[in-house]
Structure 1
Amino acid sequence: MNVFGLHTFAIAPVWDLDRIEPRIEQLREYGIGLLEIPLLRPDEIDAKRSRAFGNRWGVELVCSLALPRVLDVVEQPDEGLDFLAPAFKVCAEVGSSMLGGVTYGSIGKTTGRAATKKEIDGVCRFLERAARLARGFGLRVGIEPCNRYETHLVNRGMDAARIIERIGAENLFIHLNTYHMHIEEESFEAGFKAAEPYLGYVHLSEANRGVPGRGMLNWPAMMKAMADIGYKGAVTLESMNHVDIDIAAGLAVWRPVAERPDDVIEIGLPFLKEEAKKAGISLG
């Protein structure tokens, strides 16, 4: 069975327990056993309260982020690590085993051309240092390939796999996202196969970021590709229902992704469970 998760953008633009906890019984009924915390500003997270919440409800907490736009890990790696250090600390304090997301760059920040050798070399040096720092907190670090409109650095599963193979750090993993895969991969089969040796986390996100099943994403093909590699890790619904202002522009989210926001949860979660079941995958 794969742990079934929900990114809290489905409920609130930040990690807001006052809005999230009243929904937790409903989420548990849908099979949710994991909640993803966006660490856009790590200092805003009440780690003690969050860990107590997770323990009280028996819900796993994981964290993700994208680096702020002001950071450039190629030219200013030390500043990037200074941002990640408190994020790693929060991860450990809330009980997360990992930090996923765009750990190598910023959402919506591109040069308009292919990544240069200097940029890839710099990203690898930075992630090697980040992985070493994360080990001190007992954490794994995810690399989420994103579409060409959000980054030019890592777009496909094979791009992330090459970086991990080059670095050789055992606590680096690939964090796939079906929204980005729908744009960048030749097929879901190709993307999952490329990422298979290092795959540690999957975001399930519709092609329009909204309610799963109401967009153009080929869910049967996606679920089959995941089943074919025997992936047993966490899968998490990510919908941009509510997006923090710090990343809304980078994501190009300026209108609601669902006319009725609750449809993301009340229709999207059952839809994903049913599509997974058809492929022989049990979510819950």
Structure 2
Amino acid sequence: MIPSAVTISLVEAARGGPFVYWDDLEAAIREAKELGFDAVELFAPGPDAVDVEQVKGLLTETGLKMAAVGTGAGMVLHRLSLTAVSEDQRTKAKDFVRSMIDFGAAFDAPAIIGSMQGRWGDGLERDAALGFLGNALVELGEHAKQYNVPLIYEPLNRYETNLCNTMAQGVALLESRNITNVVLLADLFHMNIEEVGIADGLRDGGQHIGHVHFVDSNRRPAGCGHMDYAPIVAALKEIGYDGYASAEAFPWPDPSAAARQTIESYRKYFGAM
């Protein structure tokens, strides 16, 4: 059974982004429990933004898990990138990701690298940027290993990065550099833009896929766009995927309605798996 998760953002500068819940962490966790989610995924400003023991207490009380923690605040708030031209900036970016890996480890949760991967251009060649990214994934994947959790790397659509856009490109990056303890995030929104077929893209990712963002074609909650989920669910079953289906979606028309729509769609499509 693929467990469900829902996203919570505490980053004011990212408001308008694709996160279901905002602001009130405790209220979000309690509503997620009430609706029947298995876990939450947290996008926080940094490792010191929440009281870890308080959140652990809430998770224990509700029986929810922490599916993953995001690192995107490193880009949104600090403009840090793992592929910056400046070595000092790349070092700061890795240090921020390490701090979020440590933060997530308190909940036995992996960290996600998405926007912090950056892009090539402006004097930086593609091969050099991929080299910087690959080296960072080696280092950071090794750092995560001490906590018995993987690091999650997310290929993004062409408007957000020009490094890896498809699952096949993500696999090539991991395998060409022998990167270990790093898995891929298959975000259905990004895949809807970049893959010839989402189901085939999931097959391309295969055993490298360790996390899924469950969202519709327009980044609204599942069921509010034109995504065809039947072949997606079949492909996930075919590759033996057993990680989370986590809702990284716009809070449309509002957070509670978006969460409710997501869990209803989750039950419809994943309930029989």
| Fold shared per TM-score above 0.5 | yes
Q: Which of 56, 59, 79 is 2:61 aligned to?
A: 56
Offset at 1:122? 1.3
CA contact (8 A) 1:102 1:145 kept: yes
CA pair 260-127 structure 1, distance change in 2 beyond 3 A: closer
Of the three residues 19, 22, 26, the one matched with 1:18 is: 26
Do the aligned partners of 1:144 and 1:177 also contact (CA within 8 Å) in 2? yes
Letter in structure 2 aligned against 1:91: G
Taking structure 1 as reference, are residues 198 and 22 closer, same or farther at Cα in structure 2, changes over 3 Å only? Answer: closer
User: Residue by residue, what CA displacement relative to the aligned partner does 1:37-93 show, whole Å, maximum 9, x if unpaired?
Assistant: 113422212211111111121111121222415223233331112111221221112
Gaps of 5+ in 1: 242-257
Aligned equivalents of 1:204, 1:173: Cα separation in 2? 17
- Sequence identity of aligned pairs in percent? 18
- Alignment-derived partner of residue 183 in structure 1: 193
Q: Do 1:71 and 1:79's aligned partners in 2 also have CA atoms closer than 8 Å?
A: yes
Residue 73 (structure 1) aligned with residue 82 (structure 2) = yes
Q: Indicate if the aligned counterparts of 2:111 and 2:151 stay in contact, CA closer than 8 A.
A: yes
| Equivalent position of 2:3 in the other structure | 3
Distance (Å, rounded) in 2 between the aligned partners of 1:113 and 1:267:
45
Q: How many residues are treated as equivalent by the alignment?
A: 255
Distance 1:113 1:181 in 2: 28
| 1:165 is the counterpart of 2:165 | no
Note the alpha carbon deviations across 1:92-140, whole angstroms, 9 max, x for none: 12x133112417524xx67499971111111111111111222234331
| Matched residue SS, 1:68 | helix
- Structure 1 length-normalised TM: 0.81
> In the alignment, is the contact (CA less than 8 A) between 1:110 and 1:149 conserved in 2?
no
Pair 1:86 & 2:99 matched: yes
Q: Would the alpha carbon gap of residues 39 and 162 (structure 1) be closer, same or farther in structure 2, given more than 3 Å must change?
A: farther
Q: Name the SS for the 1:36 alignment partner.
A: strand
Q: Is the 8 A contact 2:202 2:235 kept in 1?
A: yes
Amino acid at match of 2:257: D
Give the conservation status (yes or no) of the 8 Å contact 1:114–1:153.
no
Length-normalised TM-score, structure 2: 0.84
Matched, 1:156 2:162: no
AA at the equivalent of 1:80:
A
Deviations 1:219-250 (A, max 9, x none): 22222222222212221122122xxxxxxxxx
Given that 1:223 and 1:275 are in contact with CA atoms closer than 8 Å, whether structure 2 keeps it comes out as: yes
Preserved CA contact (<8 Å) 1:143 1:175: yes
* Residue in structure 2 matching 1:100, options 112, 126, 132: 112
Aligned-residue CA RMSD (Å): 2.4
> Per-residue deviation at 1:267?
2.3
Q: For 2:177 and 2:62, how far apart are their aligned partners in 1?
A: 38
- Do the aligned partners of 1:6 and 1:237 also contact (CA within 8 Å) in 2? yes
For 1:71 and 1:267, locate their aligned partners in 2 and report how far apart those are by CA, in whole Å.
Answer: 34
Counterpart secondary structure, 2:75: coil
CA contact (8 A) 2:120 2:129 kept: no
> Are the equivalent residues in 2 in contact too, given 1:135–1:171 (CA < 8 A)?
yes
Alignment match of 1:44 (pick from 49, 52, 57): 49
2-structure distance, mates of 1:11, 1:50: 15
Matched-pair contact (CA < 8 Å) for 2:71–2:116: no
Segments of structure 2 that go 5 or more residues without pairing to the other structure are 9-18
